[in-house]
Amino acid sequence: MLTQELFKRRRIRRFFQIASPEELDDDIVCEHRLSIWLDGEEFIKTVISPSLVEEFLLGFLLSRRIIDGLQDVLSMEVSGDAAYITRIESKRRSLPHLELLESTGTPDIPPAHVVGPAESLFQAPLRVSVSVIFEGVRMLSEMPLYRKTGGTHCAILFSPEGAPLISAEDVGRHNSVDKVIGGGLMKDVDFANCWLAVSGRLPADMVVKPIVAGIPLVASVSAATSAGIQMGEKAGLTIVGFARKERFNCYCHPQRIL
pTM for this prediction: 0.89
Coil vs helix vs strand at 143: coil
Tens digit of each residue's pLDDT (9 = 90 or more) over 169-189: 999 999 999 999 999 999 999
The DSSP element (H or E) to which 27 belongs, if any, is strand 22-29
Over residues 108-139, the pLDDT tens digits come to 555 555 555 566 788 889 999 999 999 999 99
CATH of domain 119-256: 3.40.140.10
Q: Please state the three-class secondary structure of 83-100 as a single string.
A: EEEEECHHHCCCCCCCCE
Q: Where are the domains of the chain?
A: 119-256
Nearest to 135 by CA among 219, 254, 202, 250: 219
3-class DSSP state of 23: strand
In which band, very low, low, confident or very high, does the pLDDT at 246 lie, cut at 50, 70 and 90?
Answer: confident
Label residue 92 left, alpha or beta by phi (over 0 means left) and psi (-120 to 50 means alpha): beta
Say which DSSP state 141 is in. T
In order of 14, 20, 70, 159, the CA distances from 11 in angstroms are 10, 17, 44, 41
Compute the Cα dihedral for 189, 192, 198, 204 and give only its sign: positive
Instruction: Write down the pLDDT at residue 103.
Output: 43
